[in-house]
Amino acid sequence: MSNKLLIQERIKTRHTDPFKTNKRINDIITYITKWNIKDVVVGISGGIDSAFVLKLLLAAKEVKQFNIHTVFFTHGLHDNEAPKEVVDSFLLDLPVRHTVIDLNPIIQATNSVCSGVSDSVLDTQYAYALMYTLLFRKAQEVKGITFGTTNKDEFAIGWFGKTSDMVVDIQPIHDFHKHEIYSSYLSQSIPDSISGRSPNGDLLTGKTDEEVFGCTYDEVSAIVSLLEEGNHFDFVEYEQLKSVIDSNKHKLVKPKTHFNPIFL
């Protein structure tokens, strides 16, 4: 059996824990109750992962009162940044305190005191890290904590930034495959403008995550599950994904729990 057929069979036979979402909501309630957290901050990107994390927080808020601060970033560095109007529409009637931050003045100010040269690749990479620094600043301002939005598949292949995605206090969906996020009952109330949007990392190239991987997130999830179970996988027919993993191996030399965030 080819690897493609093996993975497709794996996708067909996978199952999702129906209680996983509720357990994570309870984990959040337990944590913020134990540490008397009054305010939480989360970046909203216009993608399914951050929308799902917000839904988890909103569900927890129905049981334990705390303030949710959402932040959306603009930068104008390329034509592929997240659609602000989609985020605005999603948040319109939700009980959150929303802030929009334009990164461009900060990036330009930094350039002026460093090399003085604006480079699109450098500026875009800097913007990723800057977003999480400003989420931290927002959390300090409201005396709260930050929540991340990195899922299990991204962690497993190194599709995260050490100085961006990892600069948060809590990672609540680190053990959720992408398909589990899509199939969760909480995601059913996320509008198609977000859930139907191809996942992407606000890349300068404009490529979606799956175009970078050379395969679908479903295939990534299946491969991650096989490897997690100790199965050998030689990545024949998945050379592009292997290249992504190889280029990110420097992030995977230690368990994810050795990074800064607390993994619920």
Q: So what's the pLDDT on residue 148?
A: 97
Q: Which of 16-20, 76-80, 137-141, 143-147 has the lowest mean pLDDT?
A: 76-80
Q: So what's the pLDDT on residue 82?
A: 80
Enumerate domains of the chain plus CATH numbers. 3-263 (3.40.50.620)
Q: So what's the pLDDT on residue 1?
A: 66
Measured CA distances, 231 to 6, 16, 17, 240 (Å): 12, 20, 22, 20
Global pTM? 0.95
199 or 176, which is more confident?
176
For residue 70, the tally of other CB atoms under 10 A from its CB is 22
Given a cut of 80, is residue 251 above it in pLDDT?
A: yes
Distance of CA 220 to the CA centre of its chain: 15
3-state secondary structure of 67: strand
pLDDT tens digits along 65-97: 999 999 999 998 877 778 899 999 999 999 999
Q: So what's the pLDDT on residue 113?
A: 84
- Whole-number percent of the chain with pLDDT over 90: 75
Residue 191 pLDDT grade (very low, low, confident, very high; cuts 50, 70, 90): very high
- Residue 161 tokens read as 């930034």
Backbone φ/ψ region at 46: left (φ over 0), alpha (ψ -120 to 50), beta: left
Residue 50 pLDDT grade (very low, low, confident, very high; cuts 50, 70, 90): very high
Measured CA distances, 98 to 81, 154, 201, 258 (Å): 18, 26, 21, 31
Contacts 24+ apart (CB under 8 A), 119-122: 120/77, 120/78, 120/204, 121/204
